[in-house]
Structure 1
Amino acid sequence: MATGELATTTLPVGAGWLGSRIGERTARGVAGTVSGLIRDGEVPPGTRLPTVRALAAELSVSPTTIAEAWSQLRAAGLIGTGRRRGTIVLEPPSSPPPERAFSGWQTVDLEHGLPDPGLLPPLEDAVAAGVHSERFGGPVKNSITPQLRAAVKPTWPFAAESWTVAAGGQDGMVLACQAVARPGDVIALEAPTMPWLRELLRRSRIHVVPVRCDEDGPLPSSLAAALEHRPVAFVYQPRAQSPLGHSVPADRLAELAAVLSEEDIAVIEDDDFGPLASAPSLSLGTHLPGRVLLVRSYCTAFGPELRSCVIGGSAALVERVRQQRGPGSVWSSRILQDAQAFLLTDPGSGELLNRARHRYAHRRTALTEALREHGISVQARDGLTLWVPVPEESRTLMTLAANGVSAGSGTRAGNPGTPHIRVATGQLPDDPALVADLARMIARAARRP
């Protein structure tokens, strides 16, 4: 049978069975799930798929949603439509095109910016050091151990008045934002930013006023305009910003500080990439003493098991963070805190951290250069995410999903400009041919009408 022909036998698959396998009930989610079932052989060539209306009724979605998913699968060459036989899974090509030659993209995080488990330091010696550290008294949930405080203090970009800990970077930002804002309050937030942070504020019923960014970070003019809405805080990432990758230089910080000096509002800095960042740690805390809270996560560098995040800055703001902890809130184990202190001061762990930093930079640069060969201009600055311009975000994401690639939405990041998608780079394979195939896939998906 020739490539792309319909199989001569048609075996129907029920809408109920297929619907039970679909999680995300969007066109992108349906296309991604059905694509995976076809590639894994669970839905073999010759299978007759449910009608658009039958599957739409099963999933309680609009028929337009299923029709668009079918369109993306058809564009990927995975399904075809016969006059009397309905929608049929096609016979796979005898020579798969390059973008489908690698079967592992579904197992690679290209959406969330997760670290590569293979680049995390071993924890055996660190945990042993934590177990043998001296314990001390005090409120467990609010205390930072002396070892951890001594380890992070030399790396802090300003003189913190007080310190506390959180169970990971997201927990730290939840506590920090809820410490300064109540439902109905306004926060000035850089845009674009991390989707989960925007969702956190939305769920907390905190209104967001966007502050646009350029290659050096938040624009002072945009921040000044946001202040007219009387926010209670300004929230931004000082370095390795996700998704743009920039780090705010000293002169831009001075400009932002000049704008903020006219208003008595809190500043929350989210240093999510932590010690993996290539840029030095700079902060508005050097300009606005007593008003800044720096939330630094170590989860990307050391792994999520340590639940490691340190919060330091204004004594008043740190105390408000402590007050956010309820009886059932997660607390940071002193053993894990001292294990983190070990990793921050151990020379061998420092070498592994430096190696990981260079490996992440290499992967980021490799995809950037491969995309540029297809005429897609991307800046490889820092972090684990590339901000990729596309003509149409939704269709690009759905086409990629139909090819087994799940990238991130620019809209969910609060993109204030032209359409973009987010492509995570931390777990990219180091094979240049595979990276080239991924770039080719992204370029073809972006060009589709």
Structure 2
Amino acid sequence: MAVDIIGRSASEIAASLRERIERGHLQAGDALPPVRALATELGVNRNTVVAAYRLLAQAGLVVARGRGGTRVAGHAPVAQEGYAAGTVLRDVGTGNPDPALIPDPAAALARSGRPVLYGEPVVDPGLEAWAREWMAEGLPSGAPRITVTSGASDAIERLLALALQREDAVALEDPCFLSALHTVRQGGYRAVPVAVDAEGMTVDGLRAALADGVRAVICTPRAHNPTGASLTAERAAQLRAVLADHPYVLVIEDDHFSLLSRAPLHSVIGETQQRWARIRSVSKFLGPDMCLAVVASDVETAERLALRLTPGTTWVSHILQRLTLALVTDPEVRAGIDRAAAHYARRNDAFAAALTARGLPLVVGDGLNLWVPLPAPAAQVREDLMRRGWLVRDGDHFFLSPEAAGDYLRLTVHQLDDAEAASLADDLSSAVAALRPSARGGRIEG
């Protein structure tokens, strides 16, 4: 098998292997040659082959299995947000907003206006005027150009498609929002991980990704999913300074929590950035089924994006656009959104306090979810909680780099009442206690 693999650099070797996978010469589950053997055969350094395999892993084409070697990945899709199908367990890993806090659109729908025909403006003028003011905070000078897409993932997919070619590199936060990771991998781009800490995307991580040749950067300025981290003013300024040396890299800012966020917005888009876009979906506060996002961008990006949303083919329904405008400009709806924001924050704070009181300290970020660090293997804690009636989501799905992964749960607890939250906190504490190191230094396996 190794005879047909060619290349002297990591990218050349990875491209050769990618071609064999795409042509079906390597099937899901097939083992790649051992690193040392392939390096010897190609006459390259062992680290070159390691780097090639890492490129393939970041693209989702192979998986590293320790002593089991590196094998071709199957075609299972990236894990998705939402309820698990067919479970009788209480699902606290959904990532969903509370349906009781999503505004009722019935009255606003009745005011959605006349039919719209082919050839009319793609963006509703009223929504565009409102959105231009809403989106302008912290962006480069001049009124931003406004585009409307069918949600944030649709916007990211279109933005990457107009700026990148297959196998181009994209910087993603690590851990990463599942839909962004899915979009990048489905597009055939190479995901380059950038570590996240309590202040958001790290400066050293971004600098390394740019040195690796990324053509686009996707950054969550606040309420990062899954960690809840938000950029501080200092961190955002540092990231802007790094990006200033790369003005033609496409910077995509996904401000998904926007109206619900309790953190201020600190943008990574600087005055000298030539290619940029800020995306705000309405899914968290008006509901996922609204399928609408507003994109503010530079003129060239907006014009190219508009060409991919041509009248008669893929524009976003004006009924949805006018419904969105009617809802976000309704004082009662906005008051309800404010109440929802307070509810999510209050329930997350209360659950974090309950876990901390049980010996599992937790710092609360922003967003719908909690990112819970564990002093025990997350997969085993998840299995224990299943036996106790809970379906949780461990952190492994969110990490791009296996070496960066740790033991975490991402919990969505805002729909639990006090008694249910206390029960989950008790069960989680008990599950962790059963797996803590024993007094003799061994691990008690569940």
Q: Give me the TM-score of the superposition, normalised by structure 2.
A: 0.71
Equivalent position SS for 2:391:
coil
| In structure 2, C-alpha distance between the alignment counterparts of 1:379 and 1:328, rounded to whole Å | 48
**2:372 is the alignment partner of 1:393:** no
Residue 358 of structure 1 and its aligned partner are, at CA, apart by: 0.6
Q: Which residue of 2 aligns with 1:438?
A: 424
**2:387 is the alignment partner of 1:411:** no
Residues 183 and 122 (structure 1), Cα distance of their counterparts in 2 relative to 1, 3 Å cut: same
**2:150 is the alignment partner of 1:167:** yes
| In structure 2, C-alpha distance between the alignment counterparts of 1:338 and 1:314, rounded to whole Å | 24
1:361 paired residue among 345, 369, 372: 345
Residues 382 and 149 (structure 1), Cα distance of their counterparts in 2 relative to 1, 3 Å cut: same
Equivalent position SS for 2:411:
strand
Q: Which residue of 1 aligns with 2:317?
A: 333
2:329 paired residue among 342, 345, 358: 345
Residue 388 of structure 1 and its aligned partner are, at CA, apart by: 0.9
Are 1:113 and 1:425, in contact at CA under 8 Å, matched by a contact in 2?
no
Are 1:160 and 1:314, in contact at CA under 8 Å, matched by a contact in 2?
no
Are 1:167 and 1:330, in contact at CA under 8 Å, matched by a contact in 2?
no
Q: Which residue of 1 aligns with 2:126?
A: 147
Residues 370 and 334 (structure 1), Cα distance of their counterparts in 2 relative to 1, 3 Å cut: same
1:117 paired residue among 99, 106, 115: 99
Equivalent position SS for 2:110:
helix
| In structure 2, C-alpha distance between the alignment counterparts of 1:436 and 1:215, rounded to whole Å | 26
CA RMSD in angstroms comes to 2.4
Residue 327 of structure 1 and its aligned partner are, at CA, apart by: 9.7
Deviations 1:43-74 (A, max 9, x none): xxxxxxxxxxxxxxxxxxxxxxxxxxxxxxxx
Q: How many residues of Structure 1 are paired with residues of Structure 2 in the alignment? A: 340
Code of the residue aligned with 2:419 in structure 1: it is: A
| In structure 2, C-alpha distance between the alignment counterparts of 1:274 and 1:124, rounded to whole Å | 23
Equivalent position SS for 2:181:
helix
Residue 379 of structure 1 and its aligned partner are, at CA, apart by: 1.7
Q: Which residue of 1 aligns with 2:237?
A: 254
Residue 441 of structure 1 and its aligned partner are, at CA, apart by: 1.6
Equivalent position SS for 1:163:
strand
Equivalent position SS for 1:193:
coil
Residues 359 and 137 (structure 1), Cα distance of their counterparts in 2 relative to 1, 3 Å cut: same
**2:385 is the alignment partner of 1:423:** no
Q: Which residue of 2 aligns with 1:47?
A: none
Q: Give me the TM-score of the superposition, normalised by structure 1.
A: 0.70
Are 2:91 and 2:390, in contact at CA under 8 Å, matched by a contact in 1?
no
**2:257 is the alignment partner of 1:273:** yes
Are 2:132 and 2:145, in contact at CA under 8 Å, matched by a contact in 1?
no
| In structure 2, C-alpha distance between the alignment counterparts of 1:121 and 1:288, rounded to whole Å | 39
Are 1:188 and 1:211, in contact at CA under 8 Å, matched by a contact in 2?
yes
Residues 203 and 409 (structure 1), Cα distance of their counterparts in 2 relative to 1, 3 Å cut: farther
Q: Which residue of 2 aligns with 1:372?
A: 356
Residue 406 of structure 1 and its aligned partner are, at CA, apart by: 1.9
Residues 371 and 181 (structure 1), Cα distance of their counterparts in 2 relative to 1, 3 Å cut: farther
Are 1:106 and 1:405, in contact at CA under 8 Å, matched by a contact in 2?
no
Alignment of 1:1-400 (within 5 A): 106=88, 109-131=91-113, 138=119, 143-156=122-135, 157=137, 158=139, 159-263=142-246, 264-325=248-309, 331-390=315-374, 391-400=376-385
Code of the residue aligned with 2:422 in structure 1: it is: A
| In structure 2, C-alpha distance between the alignment counterparts of 1:327 and 1:129, rounded to whole Å | 23
| In structure 2, C-alpha distance between the alignment counterparts of 1:154 and 1:187, rounded to whole Å | 29
**Which 5+ residue runs of structure 1 have no aligned equivalent?**
1-104
Residue 153 of structure 1 and its aligned partner are, at CA, apart by: 2.0
Residue 439 of structure 1 and its aligned partner are, at CA, apart by: 1.2
Residues 189 and 436 (structure 1), Cα distance of their counterparts in 2 relative to 1, 3 Å cut: same
Are 1:193 and 1:242, in contact at CA under 8 Å, matched by a contact in 2?
yes
| In structure 2, C-alpha distance between the alignment counterparts of 1:182 and 1:162, rounded to whole Å | 24
**Which 5+ residue runs of structure 2 have no aligned equivalent?**
1-86, 436-444
| In structure 1, C-alpha distance between the alignment counterparts of 2:364 and 2:212, rounded to whole Å | 34
Are 1:167 and 1:332, in contact at CA under 8 Å, matched by a contact in 2?
yes
Are 1:257 and 1:284, in contact at CA under 8 Å, matched by a contact in 2?
yes
Are 1:257 and 1:288, in contact at CA under 8 Å, matched by a contact in 2?
no
Q: Which residue of 1 aligns with 2:56?
A: none
